[in-house]
Amino acid sequence: MAPGDGWARCALGHRHWGIHGAAGLLLTHHAPDGAGWLLMQHRAWWGHHGDTWGLLGGARGPGETAEHAARRETLEEAGVDVADYPVGGVYTDDHGGWSYTTVLVRAPSLLPVGVLSGESTDVRWVALSELAGLRLHPGFAASWPAVRALLG
Ligand SMILES: [Zn+2]
């Protein structure tokens, strides 16, 4: 286990992963044809909210920024290095005592991805038009309307 790994209970009474909160990377690509793409992870069935689609990410380390955690997890879980791309925005879903920060980064292309973690059964670029047909992680689904608005 890495520092920061562990369960937390928020003020709303949920159980969440990440003693210091969690962060995820919303990596998007806007194709020249106008289509929007989003990098998503299909979580293994045995995990918390298993068998759902959500963002790459995870628990923040002690004192670790959300931006750093989101980039680190994406590199660890999918081999995608986004260190060179600026953060285009952040959205924090604060439950009181625990928060999830979505870090928005735009990719210049559909970067190659891998599945490097046993927590994922798949990592792939999903067209925004496909999202409605996927079984989404409830946290992602709750944040999505606000995050979508930030995408412009
Ligand atoms: Zn909560």
Q: What is the mean pLDDT of each run of 10 residues along the chain (152 residues)?
A: 91 94 97 95 84 94 97 96 95 95 96 89 95 93 93 79
State in Å: Cα 96 to ligand 1 middle.
7
Of 42, 39, 71, give the one whose Cα is nearest residue 58. 71
Partners of 11 in the β-ladder: none
User: How confident is the model at residue 9, as a pLDDT?
Assistant: 96
Indicate the domain borders of the chain: 7-151
Distances in Å between the Cα of 126 and the Cα atoms of 42, 51, 61, 98 are 11, 16, 28, 28
Model pLDDT for residues 34-69, shown as the tens digit of each residue: 999 999 999 887 777 888 999 999 999 999 999 999
Residue 60: per-residue pLDDT: 97
Evaluate whether the domain defined by 7-151 bears CATH number 2.40.37.10. Answer: no
Q: Of 48, 47, 52, which Cα lies nearest the Cα of 14?
A: 48
State in Å: Cα 15 to ligand 1 middle.
Answer: 7
CA of 13 to the centre of ligand 1 (A): 6
Q: Residues 6 or more apart from 80 whose CB is under 8 A from it?
A: 27, 39, 56, 74, 111, 112, 113
Compute the distance from residue 110 Cα to the ligand 1 centre, in Å: 32
